[in-house]
Amino acid sequence: MKDSAIDFTKGNIVRDLIAFAVPLLLGNLFQQLYNAADSLIVGNFLGREALAAVSSSGNLIFMMVGFFNGLAVGAGVVIARACGAKDRERIRKAVHTDIAFGIAAGLCLTVFAILFTPVILRLISTPPDIMPLSIAYFRVYSAGIIFSVLYNILMGIMNASGDSRHPLYYLIISSVVNIVLDVLFIGGFGLGVGSAAAATIISQALSSVLCFAKLMRAEGPVHVRLSEIRFDRVQLRAIVSYGFPAGVQNSVIGLANTVIQRSVNAFPAAVIAGFGVYSKIEGFILLPITTISLALTTLVGQNLGAKEYGRASNGSARGVLISIAIAEILGALLFASAPFLVSLFSSDPDVIAAGAGQARLEAFFYLLVAISHGAAGVLRGAGKSSVPMLVMLSVWCVFRVIYVNLILLIWPEPVAIYSAYPLTWFISSAVFLIYLRKSDWLHAMEKH
């Protein structure tokens, strides 16, 4: 590992966790700007229907890309453990296998999404009045999905080696480019909703190229050579073993949210737009939580690779507590500022009422998200990625979808859909806490 990388197996745990998480948080913040910039500029320049079209595609995109992002988490576990054990050959093979998989998977997903855009949008009951706009946005975005997959693969490699700074630098550059292109294409040239997707994929391509160039210049075992990008059976098996559950979890959560989006699509365009705007705002609010979860995966992976069990346990507890505190502070701020934040995306009073209503219902329950994501990050680092998958699959997906469909029969209002989220966060947090208390997760890897 280079000097810029953090070694979690020694030194002050909290200091190193914060030092690693802050660049990762800022990087994720700028990545979130990709989606928010599209919605904010589209909502202000192109109106309610265009905003609804962009909003209705968000969960669909997450569902498609989420599986491969989960596999990137699995690769990160393999690389982090190899870094902790100082096994340079295993790191080299895992890095090149990971990139080869990302290229192959990204190409397949891109072709599939472009070909089946109208079919996919019809399956989620996209309203006829926004269908043309939705097709325009989703099809253009689909053309660049490979760059989203590759960026997450390459960022995961750098994070697993302890380098969270360089992904931040590249995201800052590409996010600025994305916003400038959004304003130029829509506000300057007067182009349609598809141009917002074009701005996003151009920016994602840039961040992927920058990450790839950095790894090709890197010193040590994470150095990438084009001639070595190929599959290694042993490392591919390990990556899939650890990443498949996380990938399934992401995809199924995306599928569940897409099914719920179908229920939301039964309401007027203002509700669809408000639901989408809230999801953008929530994405920013939850960034510290998901960032600490990713940092905990690396921390636990490195320390278990080095057989530092006490540091893995102590760091996990401290990380989750920090995440809880941040979640509640941000929740309180969101409750107070929800109408203003929604109004940044749309001046339509109905959109503001819908988005702010959902935000204020969920704002004070974010500590539950912190517990669930923190526990999931710890368990993935310990090689128990199947546990978060099963919990999220059963609670955040199956139970949530069943609950929404049943509650709407007796309470056919948008707030009935919103109530599903705090309820399922509570159930998953309880299950995770019980599992961590009862299981020997620290020694799980040794039992494989």
Give residue 193's pLDDT band: very low, low, confident or very high (50, 70, 90): confident
Q: What is the pLDDT of residue 424?
A: 96
**Residues 194, 197, 203, 204, CA torsion sign:** negative
Give residue 5's pLDDT band: very low, low, confident or very high (50, 70, 90): low
Q: State which H helix or E strand residue 209 sits in.
A: helix 194-217
Burial class (CB in 10 A: 0-12, 13-18, 19+), 337: middle
pLDDT (tens digit per residue) in 237-274: 888 887 777 777 777 777 787 788 888 988 888 898 89
Distance between CA atoms of residues 291 and 278, nearest Å: 20
pLDDT (tens digit per residue) in 382-414: 888 788 889 988 999 899 999 999 999 999 999
Lowest mean pLDDT, pick from 121-130, 181-190, 205-214, 416-425: 121-130
Distance between CA atoms of residues 314 and 302, nearest Å: 14
pTM of the model: 0.70
Q: What is the pLDDT of residue 444?
A: 60
Distances (CA, A) of 364 to 281, 326, 331, 419: 15, 12, 5, 13
Contact criterion met (CB below 8 Å) for 260 and 417: yes
Share of the chain above pLDDT 90, in %: 29
Rounded mean pLDDT of the chain? 85
Share of the chain above pLDDT 70, in %: 96
Lowest mean pLDDT, pick from 23-37, 238-252, 361-375: 23-37
Give residue 59's pLDDT band: very low, low, confident or very high (50, 70, 90): low
Mean pLDDT, residues 195-199: 89
Distance between CA atoms of residues 136 and 139, nearest Å: 6
Distances (CA, A) of 30 to 27, 167, 177, 276: 5, 10, 11, 19
